[in-house]
Chain A
Amino acid sequence: MRRNCSISNLTKIFFLILIFCLGTRCASDKSKQKHKDANMADYLSEDDIFDDIDKAKKIFYALPSPLETAMLIKSAGATYDEQLLNSTQNTGNYTTNKSLALNLGIYTTDLSFASLFDQAQASVKYMEAARKMAEDLDITDAIDDQTVKRLEENLNNRDVIMDIISETFLNSSSYLKENDRPAVATIVLVGGWIEGLYIATQLVDDKPIENNKLVDRIAEQKLSFKIVQRMLEENRKNQTGEENKDITELMSDLTGLKNAFDKIKVETSEIKVEPNTDTNVATLRSQTKITITKPVFDELREAVKTLRTNFVQ
Chain B
Amino acid sequence: MKKILLVLFLTTLFISVNNSISAQCKGYAKKLCKLELIPYIHDGNYHAAILTEGEEAELYKTFYSGQDYRIAVCGADPLNIVEFQVIDAYKNVLYDNREHNNARIWDFKLESSQQLKIAVKVPDGTGESEYPASACVAIMFGFKEN
Contacts and interface: CB of A to CB of B under 8 A. Distances in A.
Contacts of A13: 3, 6-7, 10
Contacts of A174: 26, 29-30, 46, 48
B67 A283 contact: no
A90 interface: no
Given A64-B62, A230-B60, A49 B41 contact: no
A78 to B, nearest CB: 12
A53 to B, nearest CB: 7
Interface string A107-146: 0000000000000000000000000000000000000000
A168 B46 CA distance: 11
Interface string B33-51: 0100000011111111101
A248 interface: no
B91 to A, nearest CB: 7
Contacts of B46: 170, 173-174, 177
A190 B90 CA distance: 27
Contacts of B51: 57-58
Interface string B79-116: 00000000011111011000000000011111111111
A63 B117 CA distance: 13
B32 interface: no
Nearest to B30: A170
Contacts of B11: 17
B108 A170 contact: no
Contact of B108 (A49, A61, A282): A282
A56 B56 contact: yes
Nearest to A189: B45
Given A162-B41, A284-B108, A223 B90 contact: no
Contact of A268 (B7, B43, B67, B89): B89
B58 interface: yes
A224 B62 contact: yes
Interface string A63-98: 111111001100110000000000000000000000
Size class of the contact patch on chain A: 35 or more
Contact of B57 (A57, A168, A223, A271): A57
Given A56-B119, A62-B60, A169 B95 contact: no
A75 B10 contact: no
A301 to B, nearest CB: 20
A5 interface: no
B61 A227 contact: yes
A55 interface: yes
Given A227-B62, A288-B112, A281 B95 contact: no
Given A68-B143, A173-B46, A174-B30, A62 B59 contact: yes
20 contacts: A17-B10, A47-B89, A49-B115, A51-B91, A55-B58, A57-B57, A62-B59, A64-B43, A75-B145, A169-B45, A174-B26, A175-B26, A178-B22, A268-B114, A271-B114, A281-B108, A283-B109, A285-B111, A286-B112, A288-B113
Interface of A: 9-10, 13-14, 17, 21, 47-51, 53, 55-68, 71-72, 75-76, 159, 162-163, 165-171, 173-175, 177-178, 189, 217, 220, 223-224, 226-227, 230, 268, 270-271, 273, 279-288
Given A268-B115, A288-B112, 8 more contacts: A49-B115, A60-B57, A71-B145, A170-B30, A223-B115, A268-B114, A280-B107, A288-B114
